[in-house]
Copies of this chain bind each other. A is one copy, B any other.
Amino acid sequence: MILSKTSQYAIRVLSYMINSDLQVFSAQHLIQTLHIPDKYLRQLLTTLSKAGFIKSIRGREGGYVFARNADRIYLSSIIETVEGMDKYTSCLLGFSDCNDDNPCSLHEKWTPIREQLLDFLNNTTLAEVKNNQITKF
């Protein structure tokens, strides 16, 4: 759980939606399917809606649909919305002024791994996560 629980929930929801044939997803349906705490997920869905990943349809027969194409939703955007990306971009030992010229003791070895991690988060879209074989959400 390097990701916060809230980030996990957000990615699981959107990943489920892109891998499903349904168009509209009610909060109730997502709660039961993904086993995420009721009120907590409802709040999160509102957050994801305000951030523009999904849009809500209020009232009876309502629910949530994608607000933009999945190939334009990056993992890092989702994470930035729910917990912020600082944790993933910053120095492993927490120094705000750590850089190549004035590194901490782990900087040299950590930098290439961070690069790969950020490359993954910054360049992986929801569309790339679509896979018919996946059964776990």
Partner-B contacts on A (CB < 8 A): 1-3, 5, 8, 11-12, 15, 19, 86-88, 90, 92-95, 97-98, 102-106, 109-110, 113, 116-117, 120, 124, 128-129, 131, 134-137
Contact = CB atoms under 8 A, between A and B. Distances in A.
A36 to B, nearest CB: 11
A136 B1 contact: no
Given A93-B11, A110-B120, A137-B105, A2 B5 contact: no
A19 B103 CA distance: 14
Contact of A134 (B8, B105, B109, B134): B105
B2 A102 contact: no
A88 B134 contact: no
